[in-house]
Chains A and B, each alone.
Chain A
Amino acid sequence: MTITYDDKTPRHFMIASIIWGLVGMLVGVIAATQLSWWQANGQILETLTFGAIKTEGISWLTYGRLRPLHTNAVIFAFVGNMAFSGIYYSTQRLCKCRTASDKLSKIHFWGWQSIILGAAVTLPLGLTQGKEYAELIWPLDIAVALIWVVFAINFFWTLSKRNEPSLYVALWFYIATIITVAMLYIVNNLQIPTSITHSYPIFGGLQDALVQWWYGHNAVAFFLTTPILGIMYYFLPKAANRPVYSYRLSIIHFWALVFIYIWAGPHHLLNTALPHWLQTLGMLFSLMLWAPSWGGMLNGLLTLRGGWAQLRTDPVIKFFAAGITFYGMATFEGPLLSIRAVNELSHYTDWGIGHVHSGALGWNGLMAAGMFYWLAPRMWNTKLWSKGLANLHFWIALVGILLYVAAMWTAGITQGLMLGQLNDQGTGLKYEFVDTLLAIRWPYYFRSIGGTLYLIGFALCAFNIWKTAKSGEPVEGTAEVTPLDRKKKDFLSLKAVFGHKAVQHVFCVVIFTIFWIFAPRGGDYAALALVIVFSVLAVRAFRRDVQNWADFHDRLLENYIPLTVLAFIAVAIGGAVQIIPTLMVDRAKNIEGRLQEHYTPLELAGRDLYIDEGCFGCHSQMIRTLVPDVMRYGRQGVADDYSHLGESIYDFPHQWGSKRTGPDLAREGGPATEEGGHVRNGRRDNLWHFNHFLNPRQTSPGSNMPPYPWFFEEKTNFKSLPGRIAAQRRLGVPYPAMTKEEIEQNAREQALAIADTLKASAFIPGKEDLSGDELRNYLAERKIIAMIAYMQKLGTYTEQKLDKEKPDTFDPDQQRKRK
Chain B
Amino acid sequence: MFKRILHEDWTTIVPVIAFGITFTFFIVMIVRSMRMKKSQRDHLSSLPLEDDAPSD
List chain A positions with a Cβ less than 8 A from chain B: 4-5, 90, 93-94, 164, 166, 168-170, 233-235, 237-238, 241-244, 247-249, 251-252, 255-256, 259-260, 263, 273, 275-277, 280-281, 284-285, 288, 291, 378, 381, 473, 475-479, 517, 550-551, 553-554, 557, 585, 590-593, 625, 644-646, 806, 811-813, 816-817
Within the assembled complex, what's the spacing in Å between the Cα atoms of A275 and B1?
10
Interchain CB contact under 8 A, B10 and A812? yes
Contacts A251-B33, A591-B2: A280 and B14 contacting too (C-beta < 8 A)?
yes
Name B's interface SS. helix
Whether the pair A476, B45 counts as a contact (CB closer than 8 A) is no
Q: How far is the CA of A93 from the CA of B50 in the complex (A)?
A: 8
CB proximity of B14 to chain A, nearest CB, Å: 5
Q: Jot down 12 A-B pairs with beta carbons below 8 A, ordered by A.
A: A4-B55, A5-B52, A166-B40, A166-B44, A237-B48, A237-B49, A244-B45, A277-B14, A553-B32, A553-B35, A591-B2, A625-B6
Complex-state Cα separation, A645 to B29, whole angstroms: 39
- Given the complex of chains A and B, what is the CA–CA distance between A806 and B46 in angstroms? 60
Residues of B within 8 A of A234 (CB): 48
Contact residues in B for A169 (Cβ distance below 8 Å): 44
* Chain B residues within 8 Å of A381, by CB: 54, 56
- With A170-B48, A251-B33, A592-B1 already in contact, the answer to whether A276 and B11 are too (CB < 8 A) is yes
Which residue of chain A has its CB nearest to the CB of B31? A553
User: Are A554 and B33 interface neighbours, CB within 8 A?
Assistant: no
**Beta-carbon contact of B40 and A646 below 8 Å:** no
Q: What is the distance, in angstroms, from B41's C-beta to the closest C-beta of chain A?
A: 5
Of A248, A277, A475, which contacts B36 at CB under 8 A?
A248
Question: Is the beta-carbon distance between A593 and B3 smaller than 8 angstroms?
Answer: yes
Contacts of A237 in B (CB 8 A): 45, 48-49
Within 8 A of A (CB), among B1-56: 1-8, 10-11, 14-15, 17-19, 22, 25-26, 29-30, 32-37, 40-50, 52-56
Give chain A nearest CB distance to B33 CB in angstroms.
4
> In the bound complex, do residue B52 and residue A478 qualify as a contact, i.e. CB atoms below 8 Å apart?
yes
> Assuming the A-B contacts A243-B49, A247-B45, are A252 and B2 also in contact, with contact meaning beta carbons closer than 8 angstroms in the complex?
no
Residue in B closest to A251 when the chains form the complex, CB atoms? B33
Pick the most buried of B3, B46, B54, B55: most chain A CB atoms within 10 A of its CB.
Answer: B54
User: Contacts A255-B25, A812-B10 hold; do A281 and B48 have CB atoms under 8 A apart?
Assistant: no
User: Does A280 contact B29, Cβ atoms closer than 8 Å?
Assistant: no
* Contact among A164, A244, A260, A479 for B22, CB-based, below 8 A: A260
Q: What is the distance, in angstroms, from A640's C-beta to the closest C-beta of chain B?
A: 9
Q: Is the CB of B2 within 8 A of A247?
A: no
Contacts of B8 in A (CB 8 A): 276, 813, 816
- In the assembled complex, the CB of B30 is this many whole angstroms from the nearest CB of chain A, namely 6
Enumerate chain B residues within 8 angstroms of A285, measured Cβ to Cβ. 18, 22
- Of the candidates B14, B29, B43, B47, the one whose C-beta lies within 8 Å of that of A94 is B47
Q: Are B48 and A93 interface neighbours, CB within 8 A? A: yes
- Taking the nearest CB of chain B, how far is it from the CB of A622, in angstroms? 14
Contact A251 B32 (CB under 8 A): yes
Q: Tally A-B pairs: CB < 8 A.
A: 152
Cβ-defined contact, A255 with B29, below 8 A: yes
Q: Which among A233, A255, A378, A646 has the highest number of chain B CB atoms within 10 Å?
A: A255
Are A378 and B29 within 8 A (Cβ)? no
Contacts of A94 in B (CB 8 A): 47-48
Which 9 pairs from chain A and chain B are nearest by CB? A243-B45, A275-B5, A248-B33, A479-B52, A477-B52, A553-B32, A251-B33, A247-B45, A168-B47
Contact among B6, B26, B34 for A248, CB-based, below 8 A: B34
Task: Kindly list chain A residues whose C-beta atoms are within 8 Å of the C-beta of B29.
Answer: 251-252, 255-256
Complex-state Cα separation, A284 to B21, whole angstroms: 12
Query: Distance in Å from the Cβ of B13 to the closest Cβ of chain A?
Result: 8
In the assembled complex, which residues on chain B have CB atoms less than 8 Å from the CB atom of A592? 1-3
Q: A281-B14, A812-B10, A816-B8 are in contact. Are A478 and B54 (CB under 8 A)?
A: yes
Smallest beta-carbon distance B12→chain A, Å: 9
Nearest CB of A to B55, in Å: 4
Does A256 lie within 8 Å of B40, measured CB to CB? no
Contacts A238-B49, A813-B10: A248 and B5 contacting too (C-beta < 8 A)? Answer: no
Shortest CB-to-CB span from A505 to chain B, Å, is 16
Best-surrounded residue of B46, B47, B54, B56 (most CB of chain A within 10 A): B47
Report yes or no: A166 in contact with B47, Cβ–Cβ below 8 A: yes
The chain A residue sitting closest to B46, CB to CB, is A243
B44 touches A475 (CB 8 A): no
Residue from A244, A249, A475, A813 in contact with B1 in the complex, judged by beta carbons closer than 8 Å: A813
**Residue of B19, B22, B41 ringed by the most chain A CB atoms within 10 A:** B22
8 Å CB contact of A475 from B4, B25, B45, B55 = B55
How many Å from the CB of A576 to the closest CB on chain B? 13
Tell me if B44 and A247 are in contact (CB < 8 A): yes
Knowing that A252-B29, A816-B8 are A-B contacts, what are 19 other residue pairs whose CB atoms are under 8 Å apart, sorted by A's residue number? A4-B55, A164-B47, A166-B47, A233-B48, A237-B48, A243-B46, A247-B41, A248-B33, A248-B34, A251-B33, A259-B22, A273-B6, A276-B5, A277-B14, A285-B22, A381-B56, A477-B52, A812-B5, A813-B5
A477 contacts B47, C-beta separation under 8 Å: no
Establish whether residues B11 and A277, one from each chain, have CB atoms under 8 Å apart when the complex forms: yes
> Is the beta-carbon distance between A478 and B55 smaller than 8 angstroms?
yes
Contacts of B40 in A (CB 8 A): 166, 554, 557
Looking at B6, B15, B17, B26, which has the most chain A CB atoms within 10 Å of its CB? B6
Given A275-B6, A592-B2, A378-B54 contact (CB < 8 Å): yes
Please tell me which one of the listed residues A248, A517, A590 contacts residue B17 in the complex, with CB atoms under 8 A apart: A517
Q: Within the complex, which residue of A256, A275, A554, A816 is in contact with B2, where a contact is CB–CB below 8 Å?
A: A275
What residues of chain A lie closer than 8 Å to B50, measured between beta carbons?
Answer: 93, 479
A248 vs B36: C-alpha distance when bound (angstroms): 8
Residue of A nearest to B15 (CB): A284
With a cutoff of 8 Å between Cβ atoms, the chain B residues found around residue A477 in the complex are 52-55
Which residue of chain B lies nearest to A90 when distances are taken between CB atoms in the complex?
B48
A93 in complex: contacting residue of B3, B41, B42, B52, CB < 8 Å: B52
Q: How far is the CA of A531 from the CA of B15 in the complex (A)?
A: 20
Find chain A residues with CB under 8 A from B48 CB: 90, 93-94, 168, 170, 233-235, 237-238, 243-244
A813 CA / B7 CA spacing, docked (Å) = 11
Partner of B49, one of A241, A247, A551, A593: A241
Q: Is the CB of A166 within 8 A of B43?
A: yes
CB neighbours (8 Å) of B41 from chain A are 247-248
Closest residue of chain A to B43 (Cβ to Cβ) is A166
Q: Which residues of B contact A378 (CB under 8 A)?
A: 54
Q: Does the CB pair A554–B22 fall under 8 Å?
A: no
A92 CB to nearest B CB, Å: 9
Nearest neighbor of A517 in chain B, beta-carbon distance = B17
A476 and B19 alpha carbons, distance in the complex (Å) = 49
> What is the distance, in angstroms, from A180's C-beta to the closest C-beta of chain B?
17
The CA-CA distance from A806 to B45 in the complex, in Å, is 57
Residues in B whose Cβ lies below 8 Å from that of A806? 1
Minimum Cβ distance to chain A for residue B50 (Å): 8
A483 to B54, CA, bound (A): 20
Query: CA of A235 to CA of B49 in the docked complex: distance in angstroms?
Result: 9
Tell me which of B15, B33, B52, B53 contacts A252 (CB under 8 A): B33
Q: Are A590 and B25 in contact (CB under 8 A)?
A: no
Q: Given A243-B46, A285-B18, A550-B35 in contact, is the A811-B25 Cβ separation under 8 Å?
A: no
B15 partner residues in chain A, CB cutoff 8 A? 280, 284
How far apart sit A251 and B37, CA to CA, in the bound complex (Å)? 13
Q: How far is the CA of A550 from the CA of B15 in the complex (A)?
A: 31
